[in-house]
Structure 1
Amino acid sequence: MGKKAAKLVLGLILLFVTVFAFNPTSADAASSQFITKANTTQKVVALTFDDGADGANINSILNTLDDYDVKATFFLTGTGLNDHPADIKKIADQGHQLGNHSYSHPDFTKLTAAQMKSELDRTEALAKQVTGKSTKPIFRAPYGYTNSAVLKAAGEAGYTHTIQWNIDTVDWKGTPKNEMTDKVVSNIVPGSIVLMHTGEGAAGTPVALPDIIQELEALDYEFVTMAELLSLHNEPPAEIIYVVKPGDTLSSIAQKYNTTVTKLRELNDLSSSSILSVGQILFIKAHPFTDITNHWAEDEIAKLTQAGIIKGRTSTTFVPGGKVTRAEFATLVTRAYGLQRFASGEEPFADVKEGSWYEPYVDAASSTGIINGYDTGSSLVFRPNQDITREEMAAMMVRAEERQSGSELSKASLTFSDKEKIGSWAEEEVAKAVGADLIMGYPDGSFKPKGSATRAESAAVFYRALDY
């Protein structure tokens, strides 16, 4: 996702906000909450570093963070605290947050409760001895391996949050800096948690870090510690992490969350022969909508919902065939593209009431040339409550895209069976929208320019504009 897409995401989130979180009802109240990203619409990101036995790159990382005045979060191991205590003290002295990453980096899912407690307590005691600071209340499981027993043990040890990530740089494999930077920038969303490492194996991290910081700053992202990120973690979840219960099957879970067994297997890296175990944690990228299964725009709607960009008419229905008014679409475009009214003055449209919820958005879209309205002869009107047509939607999107990019979109040759029904005023913009793959025709070869655009079609247009 490039800068254009990132800006669009922010604007859309301001209008349709729901993001990812751990579902607190799916684990015991004493358990640590499992977090992969914060539920926030603010453009913030937490850079996190797992420290291991050698910590070879700590000083280079700290120098870069200091150069850019960025605070990060470091998850410590007991082996690292023993091997390079002076470097770890420097981490704390420079104001970065500390977290617990275990003592010897074992797979916690294979330990007893007592063994997990020992791993956490020993690291906490050593961290206090070396830095004078606590690693509580955040824990990151070695390898990211967790289940309900791990969350329970972490919670009982005083770690209220178990921190995963939504962007893995895979730097420990020696990933080149350009690949690391692109992976972070392409996947960034508000509230992201980025995983990196301090060890010698992650040789690309020190050289990629300046580029990552500069690219994210160019997208107007602010860098925060996990403590700061969690303070913003306060909006309704769109996705959950499911803890397997007795009697559960992939089929029953998929049915419950309106997804498929295939999607569950792909997301959780499960083979066809995998057997679920009680307490196992499953990621479920499921949409809550019961009315889009097998719909042509199911994937687009689901992905935008999962990304926190759109939401349904109700908690369980999206109403894909529902119509979109001109005021609603103008509002969506205005917020998505960050349009501002250039000058104050009289309301340009006779039927846009002063103080109406859509007035500022319609005015901004008008002021920036995205909408023109209808000339009745005696006045200029907008018709805010009229359903937006497909040719109007195409025209507004093309104008907004060209305004943001500063360049003209290429036109496609229109071959629709009803192309003669496209208004002369909209023909060029429809050709550009088709050329940019923003809008498509129907299976019967028609475009239906005067037809009302649906919620599904609107979602698909923005999905394509975001280059998902």
Structure 2
Amino acid sequence: MALTIAVLAPATFASTCEKPVYLTLDTGHMGVAQYMADVLNRHQVKVTFFAANERTKEGDGSLGNHWAPWWKARAAEGHEFASHTWDHTYWRADLPGEPLRFRVRASAGPSEGVERTWTAAQYCEEIGKAAKRIEEVTGKKTLPLFRAPGGKTSPKFLAATRECGYAHVGWSRAGFLGDELPSETASNSQLLQRALRDIRKGDILLAHLGIWSRKDPWAPAVLEPLIVGLKAKGFCFATLRDHPDYAAWVARAR
């Protein structure tokens, strides 16, 4: 008797898996971007990319023309996309008075390192600029989500950005995969072992498409064994479109 194997569509697979995790990848210097894309494709893992126009090892920024074909290819593979702000602009503090204003500082672009004061509308415009560019280069609508650089926020900040249509996404404690940490104090083997030990069902995982400050790149040593190890423990990978905290928000925004 012939054996029939059913191939489930990604959304169906995510809904039937009992132990989903949600891998999210923020932009960076993009030096390991193609390697990471190859690993994800090889293991049929779909992720959510949070993109900003950051300085890169080659090309004109992570959302520039040089990297546009790379993003378009990821869209064709079925990944999801959301904003990480255009110039990787950090919320620094709420400011007193009305209207609501924030102190911000970008780590990319023409105002890199400069402290500025923005209204909520200006910060929302910064989120929207990255979202629009992602849609231009991928041909795919971005999720109505964003990640503040460094995960830095305040209740007033989150309320304001939600009011203009963007829900904020952080990461789980065990989901901090450590690729931003110094190699000297957090080796790749230590980070892999910790992740495989601590990650639990429903966790949002965070890594980057290249970190300038890390001596021993994380992705070539950790990404593939992490995926293989988590799958061996019964986990599956889904995008934030299917996350229970965001699915209804995403559906309403369509």
Please give the TM-score of this superposition, normalised by the length of structure 1. 0.39
1:81 equivalent to 2:63? Answer yes
AA in 1 matched with 2:199: I
Q: CA RMSD in A?
A: 2.2
Aligned to 2:193: 182
Given residue 222 of structure 1, which amino acid in structure 2 is its aligned partner? Answer: C
Q: Secondary structure at the match of 1:119?
A: helix
- State the distance in 2 between where 1:127 and 1:139 align: 12
- The structure with the greater share of residues assigned to helix is 1
Q: Residue 162 of structure 1 aligns with which residue?
A: 168
Separation in 1 of the partners of 2:74 and 2:120?
30
User: Gaps (5+ residues) in structure 2?
Assistant: 1-16, 55-61, 93-102, 105-118, 249-254
Which SS does the other structure have where 2:207 is aligned?
Answer: strand
Q: Number of aligned residue pairs: give it.
A: 192
2:121 counterpart letter in structure 1: A
Match of 2:71, as an amino acid?
I
* SS of 2:225 mapped into structure 1: helix
Report the Cα distance in structure 1 between the residues aligned to 2:154 and 2:245, rounded to whole angstroms: 24
Q: CA deviation at 1:180?
A: 2.2
- Which position in structure 2 is the counterpart of 1:138? 145
**1:68 shift after superposition:** 0.8
Q: After superposition, what is the alpha-carbon deviation per residue over 1:45-95, rounded to whole angstroms, capped at 9, x for unaligned? A: 01111113x211111011001111111111011342126222222222211
Whether 1:103 aligns to 2:80 is no
Query: Which residue of 2 is the match for residue 152 of structure 1?
Result: 159
2:23 alignment counterpart: 47
* SS in structure 2 at match of 1:172: coil
Compute the displacement of 1:206 (Å): 3.0
| C-alpha separation in 1, matches of 2:25 and 2:165 | 21
What CA deviation, in whole Å up to 9, does each residue of 1:216-267 have, x standing for no partner?
1111011111112237979xxxxxxxxxxxxxxxxxxxxxxxxxxxxxxxxx
- CA-to-partner distance for each residue in 1:128-154, whole Å, 9 max, x for gaps? 111112222121110000112321232
SS in 1 for 2:44: coil
Cα distance between partner residues in 2 of 1:90 and 1:207: 24
Task: State the match for 2:58 in structure 1.
Answer: none
User: What SS class does the counterpart of residue 171 from structure 1 fall into?
Assistant: coil
Matching residue within 57, 66, 83 for 2:41: 66
Are the structure 2 counterparts of residues 232 and 149 from structure 1 closer, same or farther at C-alpha, using a change threshold of 3 Å? closer
Q: Is the 8 A contact 1:57 1:200 kept in 2?
A: no
Query: Are 1:113 and 2:120 matched, yes or no?
Result: yes
- Secondary structure at the residue paired with 2:180? helix
Q: How far apart are residue 207 of structure 1 and its match? A: 2.4
Q: Which of 23, 32, 40 does residue 57 from structure 1 map onto? A: 32
Looking at structure 1, the residues matched to 26 and 90 of structure 2 have their Cα atoms a distance apart, in angstroms, of: 15
Counterparts in 2 of 1:148 and 1:200: CA distance versus 1, 3 Å: closer
Query: What are the superposed Cα offsets for residues 301-330 of structure 1, whole Å, 9 maximum, x if unpaired?
Result: xxxxxxxxxxxxxxxxxxxxxxxxxxxxxx
Higher-RCO chain (CA-CA 8 Å, sequence separation at least 6): 2
Change (3 A) 1:170 1:215: same
